Amino acid sequence: MKAHLITYGCQMNEYDSHLVQSQLVSLGADMVDSIDAADFVLINTCAVRGKPVDKVRSVLGQLRKEKALRPLVIGMMGCLAQLEEGQQIARKFEVDVLLGPGSLLDIGKALESNQRFWGLNFKDELHDHIPPPPTGKLQAHLTIMRGCDHHCTYCIVPTTRGPQVSRHPDLILRELDSLLGAGVKEVTLLGQNVNAYGFDAGAKLAGYPSFAELLRMVGASGIQRIKFTTSHPMNFTEDVAAAMGETPAVCEFVHLPVQSGSDRVLRRMAREYNREKYLTHIAQIRKHMPEAVLATDIIVGFPGETKEDFQETLSLYDEVGYDSAYMFIYSPRPGTPSYQHFQDLPREVKTERLQRLIAVQKDWSAKKNARFQGSVQEVLLRGDAYSEGHLEGHTRGNHPIVVPKALGAVGAGLYQARVTATTPHMLYGELVGVDGQTLPMVPNFLPEAAALSSPLTML
């Protein structure tokens, strides 16, 4: 079998795609780079917003036409597959294999079946499975939990991924050891709400550390860089902030979604915290990690959001000064309380507010990035950039950076780079060292030719 895997959505989906791909390879499948070369195409879907769902419909429409011309097995997995909406789409586009987020290990059973196979159960054995480490990569994702016990009124995740289940720390550390053995230098701990790790259904699990304790354990493993996502402010504690500051491997980057600066909107979202509580967490982070780079998520135009509510969000930006943000206009999702009970705002209102928010964020990002001008940063380079003769990567603060190749530094690795230019969304620099050694430069670095638009705006 020749298989092709398409992934939409979050980092958890990327991890799940790696898990399923490893299963396919173990079954003897060859992974190919295009639909045309494949006889099995599997789409890992996202259901958080309407736009990724529209993308899935478009791809499935193309695949159905292809299936009419030649033998082709079509598969759909992920959050959308778990929903009735996704199952209706699957029937319409003649999907053969449907796997929910809790049934990924059923891929072999599905392919052995001679009829349509739909696996939509949440299974505990998924948490016990340790996929092989990625090949030739310095970064990796590591799932520490699945599901969520919160019920934000706009969010479909508790329905698609089920209640929170924390993964046993022994399994986490075993997988981490495997990643270290494969040469991974940066790991991102994944969960729908990592701050609640070890407290499933609101109760502390015997023998499980808290998330703060887990951070310290992972930091003691020898891994060089640690990130984590995503965090729910309701479960954030000062001990997490302290663990970040005390653990050298934890990167100076914190993604703490606020969603709105208005207490009234936060209550309608059922976020379980208010603006004051959120700002307390920001103060705790800055107390224990003064150089922290702060990122957030914002939903613009939530049902019932007034001009005054939106102004509260704008004022929060001036109070916090975010380095970056993922900004979304509210997307009503069938099956959520906000879809069932709240009236959506006109799209033109939401779009206008989003554009205003983008302008504020761009200004803050420009100011924040400018402070790195002339500084030397540790950068993880992933490989060749879009411009010939250059490498791309990111700093410990998660800033994208582009540098020219230097003699002795022609590929992926950890380096030191001096920042020579900044934009709101990018740093540019020159490599100055690796393992304590100074590197000679390759000339003619022209950052103005490589300007990028923001990757953080989601319509």
Binding-site residues, in ranges, read 10, 46, 79, 148, 152, 155
Q: Look at the chain and count its residues.
A: 459
**In angstroms, how far is CA 441 from the centroid of its own chain?**
34
Cβ pair 198, 209 in contact under 8 A: yes
Give the span between the Cα atoms of 452 and 382, in whole angstroms: 18
Q: Among residues 204, 188, 267, 187, which one has the least CA distance to residue 234?
A: 267
Give kind and range of the element (H or E) at residue 238. Answer: helix 238-246
Q: How far is CA 131 from CA 20, 171, 217, in A?
A: 9, 11, 21
Give the span between the Cα atoms of 232 and 148, in whole angstroms: 10
- The binding site for [4Fe-4S] cluster comprises 10, 46, 79, 148, 152, 155
Cβ pair 226, 189 in contact under 8 A: yes
**Token representation of residue 176:** 């981490």
Q: State phi, psi for 262 to the nearest 5 degrees.
A: -100, 125
Identity at 319, one-letter amino acid code: E
> Dihedral of CA 198/254/400/412: which sign?
negative
Peptide bond into 247 cis (omega under 30): no
Identity at 227, one-letter amino acid code: K
Give kind and range of the element (H or E) at residue 258. Answer: none
**In angstroms, how far is CA 262 from the centroid of its own chain?**
25
